[in-house]
Amino acid sequence: MQSFRTEIENPIVEKDILELDRKIQLFKEGKIDEERFRSLRLARGVYGQRQFGVQMIRIKLPYGKVSSEQLHRIAAVSDEYSRGRLHITTRQDIQIHHVSLDRTPELWAQLEKDDITLREACGNAVRNITASETAGIDINEPFDVSPYADATFKFFLRNPICQEMGRKFKMSFSGTDDDTAISFIHDLGFIAKVKIENGITKKGFKVLLGGGLGSQPRHADVIYDFLEEDVLIPTIEGVLRIFDRFGERAKRAKARLKFLVKDIGVNDFLQLVADEVDALENKTFRIDTTVFEQPIFFQEVAIPLVKIENEKAFQKWKETNVITQKQEGLFAIGIKVHLGDFYTPKARLLADLVKKYAANEIRLTLRQNILIRHIREELLPFFYVELEKLGFAKIGYNSTADITACPGTDTCNLGISSSTGIAVALEKVLEEEYPKYLNNKEIAIKISGCMNACGQHNMAHIGFQGMSIKVGNLQAPALQVLIGGGILGDGKGRFSDKLVKIPSKRGPEALRMLLNDLDENQHKEETFLEYYDRQGKTYFYDLLKGLSDTTNLKPSDFIDWGHNEAYVKAIGLGECAGVVIDLIATLLFESEEKIINAEEALKENQFSDSIYHAYTSLVNTAKALLIAENIKTNTQTVIISDFQKHFVETNKIDLEISFEDLVYQIKKEQPTKAFAESYLNDAQSFYKKVDAFRLAETTA
């Protein structure tokens, strides 16, 4: 029996939420394996927290766009189900923490009232689609990438081809060659481009494939210098199909797309994608941009009169936090959100301001900040005064002092040392001792609590990674210091060099030494990266190596930032889309569900979806028997070939054609109604044969 009643008008969304509620009940009753249940809830944005018995909820906000109504809804949900804190991530999501698992379906239903989803915010699926926060207002952009990010999000949400991949999949859209959405670290990255042919301006994208951070960062490969807009969605679909079929599924550390591309090569990968063309329902896909091209609407309100108490501070704020839009007379205001954390009372006041005096839209940024768009020039003084009241007028938006940091050991299972604590200490150093860096937009400092790089530390100019060091029988929190990464533009970037590992409490001194050396030795007109390259990695290692000495540690060095007890290294089970352990019964149960999904899609004339559900059922069913025989199932291609070898060629399962030929019809046939019906029948027949075989085996 369901534990709550939804009021969702969209039947697809309602079914999804009720399904989560049903699976929670089955899990509590012991009818679903814990590992499979983890996979299911992750794909619904429900993530296990470091603290026992509570969940982190990740709210998926495509390209960071949020309306006043949505921000009010998120604030209400946070107050009702959490603790009133909202955390902006480096993927333009919002996370809330300390939520009871039982209440997650109800929480989701509340969010959907304002068209906010949790679906695929975590798990082995297409994660949030990110984009330049200035998309649509950037003076230098060839066109607004927002509608393309929006269309990509909508097309692949709940799409059967990307629900149970071996690992997560990340995409970004950059509006200009500045590449502010960091295309080179993504599975697929897109940079807006235009070209003129026969006097006609065409829109398209530079496309990068196979990038990523983590313990083994990889720079994405350029696969197209110009991909026309109408083949954007089909190209993404082809890439996802190949990743789903050929991607590693057993070895989590090798399961990202970057490893597959590296192993088989870019050209061979693209050939596999090209071979998928016949299977695509959409050979081209026209994206409607008209919704994003409507005139900007403002409420008719009088401009409030305000008095600026400190004109100098106001002017400084305009220099560091205000951006001139391409729309004449309009400006955007950047809000520096400390560590990405803000609270519901201020969120509501901000939402009211944006609706009444702007154009009812903010964008969350990749650096964990907020950008208010479409502010009329005459309202800038008013906004400054109002934002100052909220503590949102702090200078230094997107500056060196605007440090990016993941939650680390605050809530994450994988955190090794405190990233938020050291971030607070470093920001204090910058504000009190190096004020000139409050308006330095060149040098970025980023911090992660572990090697997984959620804080993007290994592509920062100056990065810190949480670690631990052993001193005798004791453990102390530590930091790996990295230097020399950054965005170069137009799809080019560089990763940071690892220098030294130092006790965490020496992080502020490391920053002082680096900045002092920069002030003394940087040449005029020399960028930070040019300065780093001129001096060389060894120079900086020698500069900092004294901080790595652990023979003279003090008692305080064994206590992490923000704590008052001795440090204990405690790493839990990571849930960042980890590969799960599949039980045979669960796999067969899910194969039945896929067949039901295929039947439902066929009734709705969604032939491509029906075909892919049937394909997944075929693979899952074969996988169940292989696991029963202790045969490895690392990829779908291995499953298909090994099932043929171990079950069909040995006559254990009788098929009229080979299992490869049966399954691979999906890439040879057009997605027509006739093929969808035929393929569904094949999946149903195959499942019945396997189920009968399994029953005979287990009752013999």
Tens of pLDDT, residue by residue over 303-350, are 898 999 999 999 999 999 999 999 999 999 999 999 999 999 999 999
Mean pLDDT of the residues in the chain: 92
H or E stretch covering 231: none
Token couple for 35: 């590992």
- 55-80 average pLDDT score: 97
- pLDDT grade, residue 258 (50/70/90)? very high
Instruction: Please state, in angstroms and rounded to a whole number, the distance separating the CA atoms of residues 206 and 269.
Output: 18
pLDDT cut 90: percent of the chain above it: 80
- pLDDT grade, residue 191 (50/70/90)? very high
Asked if residue 586 has pLDDT above 70, the reply is yes
Sign of the torsion formed by the C-alpha atoms of 544, 546, 551 and 552: negative
- 343-363 average pLDDT score: 97
Q: Phi and psi at residue 171, in whole multiples of 5°? A: -130, 150
Q: What is the largest CA-CA distance in the chain?
A: 87
pTM (two decimals)? 0.93
Lowest-pLDDT choice from 111-125, 323-337, 585-599:
585-599
Instruction: Please state, in angstroms and rounded to a whole number, the distance separating the CA atoms of residues 171 and 208.
Output: 10
Asked if residue 139 has pLDDT above 70, the reply is yes
Amino acid of residue 217: P
What does the chain come to in residues? 700
Asked if residue 251 has pLDDT above 90, the reply is no
Among 541, 559, 563, residue whose Cα is nearest residue 503: 559
CB 151 within 8 A of CB 194: no
CB 445 within 8 A of CB 403: yes
Amino acid of residue 401: A
Sign of the torsion formed by the C-alpha atoms of 691, 696, 697 and 699: positive
pLDDT at 571: 55
Token couple for 545: 């190596």
Instruction: Please state, in angstroms and rounded to a whole number, the distance separating the CA atoms of residues 608 and 679.
Output: 11
What is the dihedral angle through the alpha carbons of 612, 613, 619, 620, rounded to the nearest 10 degrees? 160
CB 240 within 8 A of CB 213: no
- pLDDT grade, residue 74 (50/70/90)? very high
Instruction: Please state, in angstroms and rounded to a whole number, the distance separating the CA atoms of residues 158 and 166.
Output: 16
Q: What is the DSSP letter of 117?
A: B
Lowest-pLDDT choice from 357-366, 534-543, 578-587, 622-631:
578-587
Asked if residue 575 has pLDDT above 70, the reply is no
Amino acid of residue 407: P
- 339-365 average pLDDT score: 97
Q: What is the DSSP letter of 212?
A: B
- 258-269 average pLDDT score: 96
Which of 375 and 450 is assigned the larger pLDDT?
375
- 516-537 average pLDDT score: 96
Contacts by 542-545, CB closer than 8 A, 24 or more apart: 543/513, 543/514, 543/517, 544/481, 544/499, 544/500, 544/502, 544/510, 544/513, 544/514, 545/500
pLDDT at 49: 78
Please tell me the number of Cα atoms within 13 Å of 398 on its side-chain side: 18
- Residue with tokens 């149903």, as numbered in its chain: 684
pLDDT at 578: 39
Token couple for 168: 């997560």
Q: Which domains does the chain have, with CATH numbers?
A: 11-112 (3.90.480.20), 130-291 (3.30.413.10), 295-389 (3.90.480.20), 405-558 (3.30.413.10), 584-699 (1.20.120.330)
- 514-540 average pLDDT score: 96
pLDDT at 78: 97
- 258-272 average pLDDT score: 96
Asked if residue 587 has pLDDT above 90, the reply is no
Pairing of the two strands 171-174 and 130-131: parallel
H or E stretch covering 482: strand 474-483
Instruction: Please state, in angstroms and rounded to a whole number, the distance separating the CA atoms of residues 133 and 390.
Output: 22
- 566-575 average pLDDT score: 63
Q: What is the DSSP letter of 496?
A: P
Q: What is the DSSP letter of 365?
A: -
Cβ atoms < 10 Å from Cβ of 597:
19
Interval 382-431: pLDDT, tens: 999 999 999 999 999 999 999 999 887 777 767 788 899 999 999 999 99
- 671-699 average pLDDT score: 93
Residues 6+ apart with CB under 8 A from 1: none
Asked if residue 1 has pLDDT above 70, the reply is no
What string of H, E and C letters represents the secondary structure of 305-338? CCCCCCHHHHHHHHHHHEEECCCCCEEEEEECCH
pLDDT at 292: 96
Interval 29-47: pLDDT, tens: 887 777 778 878 888 889 8
